[in-house]
Amino acid sequence: DILLTQSPAILSVSPGERVSLSCRASQSIGTSIHWYQQRTNGSPRLLIKYASESISGIPSRFSGSGSGTDFTLTINSVESEDIADYYCQQSNSWPTYTFGGGTKLEIK
């Protein structure tokens, strides 16, 4: 199985900060990584697909980068509504797939 390791587990930020969330794969997966946001009591929402492709309706402050084994989700100028859990998911082994353990974004 392809393992995904997200770091940090918890990230405390101030509004307006630029933050980067990391996702590392146990083997090279090209750009087959997707990012999801999950707010409290909500369902996962797709933010970025295939490492860097934007999703309609998602604010432009969210962007993704990386390939191979190292991937980053960047939020430019964090807003209070961005407080949530963030998960990466790999589909390189489709139709099987796995998720990272998540990063919790908190406001300082």
Which residues are at the interface with other proteins (CB under 8 A)?
A: 1, 32, 34, 36, 43-46, 49-50, 55, 85, 87, 89, 91, 94-99, 101-102
Contacts of 56 (CB under 8 A, 6+ apart): none
Residues comprising the chain, all counted: 108
CB of 16 to other proteins, least distance (A): 27
Please identify, using beta-carbon distances, which residue of 14 and 40 lies nearer to other proteins.
40
Q: How far is CA 13 from the centre of its chain?
A: 16
Partners of 11 in the β-ladder? 105
Please identify, using beta-carbon distances, which residue of 44 and 68 lies nearer to other proteins.
44
